[in-house]
Amino acid sequence: MKIKAPVSKNEQLDVSIMDLTYQGMGVAKVDDFPLFIENALPGEELTIQVTKVAKNYGFARAIAWKSESPDRVKDVDKTYRQTGIASLQHLTYPAQLKFKQHQIAELFSKAHQDVEVAPTLGMENPTQYRNKAQVPVRMIKGQLETGFYRQHSHDLIPLTDFYIQDPAIDAAIIKVRDLLRQFEIPAYNEISDKGVLRNIMVRRGYYSHEMMIVLISRTQKIPSQAQLVDQIHKALPEVTSIVLNVNAKKTNVIMGNVTRVLYGKPTIEDTLMGLTFAISARSFYQVNPQQTEKLYQMAIDKAGLTGEETVIDAYCGIGTISLALAKHAKQVYGVDIVPEAIEDAKVNAQKNHLTNVDFFVDKAEDQMIQWQAAGVKPDIVVVDPPRKGLAETLIESTAKMGPKKVVYVSCNPATLVRDVQHFQDLGYVIDGPIQPVDQFPQTPHVESVTVLVKK
């Protein structure tokens, strides 16, 4: 017997918002059937219209508010919500920090885990923090535009102020856009797979103020390339690197495999935790350096290093955590799957005169199995995986190596809960409260540090 949903498409209802989803949408229930509503906050009473009904849930849009939450921010720019750039901007910042703490606590609670989650570490100025931008370039009404896609679509909304980005980066994008117009360089057309320029990426050192402009092109060369490059570095004195990245594939992946330096150096430099890092066009580097310092310091403090330990840093990227750990440990091993990241990591070790760290190119889970087979005995393992979390084989080989502590830096509470349960099955327990860090203010994302110790 098919159970019919208690609501139907286009139906209008009065509801109370009871919670927020991990994506920051309001949740209302009609006969235990959840409806997800954008721009709605817990405690609000509103009239909604149902827009979509699936088997176990539905979506609706707010039509009118009968009561508003005291945590609601008025006068927000709806463009930032439409593009997903700042989908929590309508929630006051203290309430955003509470939401992130609650999000982690709730997921552990659903998994029947009794854990303490500390208050989220926030920022003094929770805007203009991003040190990297990747913006699409498209033609709109015959004019080249830069901006951001409307959520769940490829409709470009032109934007000049990205709200959560370093204002110097926003200004640089406008300068580059104007020069592209001046030289009449055709923007990429996704439908016909024609045109030239697909995206502009800008990176800027938070402390160094060095700037890199990456032009992502469908073609091996950009028309008027030499003149364009000359004008970019004349217009933007902070630019120390201009790079061409070629992506000729019909794909949603932003960057291709071919990268050529058109002006200056192949990397920019910045400092983090008193260390100098070279950052190339394709290397991963945390986008919020102020909060990254808090996050990594937290990981180092929780590792409790005395200078005698052997440490493994899985998913090491360009060596940011590895090198910070190396200052306090006897020996550090880092592994990452991206060859360019490991090249950068080795350069960064030399730059900082750190000789007690070795880097390897491999999948973290495969390298851990090799280290385990070779009898490597780490005292501490630090993991900072992508959103999909840890591979089961990595958790198993870590447990077999038997480190005293595992320090888990997570960017996805759902996979953190799953992985922690796996570690618990293998004899590890959570030690102390989980510490959330607000790495991405105005968005629902949250990073956290969890310590697991061997029973």
The answer to whether the beta carbons of residues 52 and 11 sit under 8 Å apart is: no
In terms of Cβ atoms closer than 10 Å to its own Cβ (0-12, 13-18, 19+), residue 126 is buried
pTM for the whole structure: 0.92
Q: Within 13 Å, how many C-alpha atoms sit on residue 216's CB side?
A: 25
Per CATH, the number for 288-454 is 3.40.50.150
Q: Are strands 58-67 and 33-37 parallel, antiparallel or unpaired?
A: parallel
Per-domain boundaries in the chain: 12-72, 132-272, 288-454
The answer to whether the beta carbons of residues 344 and 267 sit under 8 Å apart is: yes
The answer to whether the beta carbons of residues 123 and 291 sit under 8 Å apart is: yes
The answer to whether the beta carbons of residues 326 and 313 sit under 8 Å apart is: no
Query: CB neighbours (10 Å) of residue 325?
Result: 28
Topology agreement, domain 12-72 and domain 132-272 = yes
User: d(Cα 54, Cα 41) in Å, to the nearest integer?
Assistant: 22
The answer to whether the beta carbons of residues 163 and 86 sit under 8 Å apart is: yes
Per CATH, the number for 132-272 is 2.40.50.1070
455-to-89, 115, 353, 401, 429 alpha-carbon distances in Å: 42, 16, 37, 14, 6
**Active-site hit among 411, 417, 434, 446:** 411
The alpha carbon dihedral of 310, 315, 317, 321 has a sign of: negative
User: d(Cα 7, Cα 318) in Å, to the nearest integer?
Assistant: 51
Q: Look at residue 105 in the predicted model and tell me its pLDDT.
A: 97
316 catalytically annotated: no
Diameter over CA atoms, the chain? 71
The answer to whether the beta carbons of residues 261 and 243 sit under 8 Å apart is: yes
The answer to whether the beta carbons of residues 6 and 13 sit under 8 Å apart is: no
Q: For each of the chain's 455 residues, which pLDDT tens digit applies?
A: 567 889 999 999 999 999 999 889 999 999 999 999 999 999 999 999 999 999 999 999 999 999 999 999 998 888 888 888 899 999 999 999 999 999 999 999 999 999 999 999 999 999 999 999 999 999 999 999 999 999 888 899 999 999 999 999 999 999 999 999 999 999 999 999 999 999 999 999 999 999 999 999 999 999 999 999 999 999 999 999 999 999 999 998 999 999 999 999 999 999 999 999 999 998 888 899 999 999 999 999 999 999 999 999 999 999 999 999 999 999 999 999 989 889 999 999 999 999 999 999 999 999 999 998 998 899 999 999 999 999 999 999 999 999 999 999 999 999 999 999 999 999 999 999 999 999 999 999 999 999 999 98
Q: Within 13 Å, how many C-alpha atoms sit on residue 314's CB side?
A: 30
Q: Where are the beta strands (DSSP E) in 17-97?
A: 19-20, 26-30, 33-37, 45-53, 58-67
Q: Are strands 267-272 and 258-264 parallel, antiparallel or unpaired?
A: unpaired
The alpha carbon dihedral of 94, 96, 100, 106 has a sign of: positive
41 forms bridges with which residues in the sheet?
Answer: none
Q: Does the domain spanning 12-72 belong to CATH 2.60.120.260? A: no
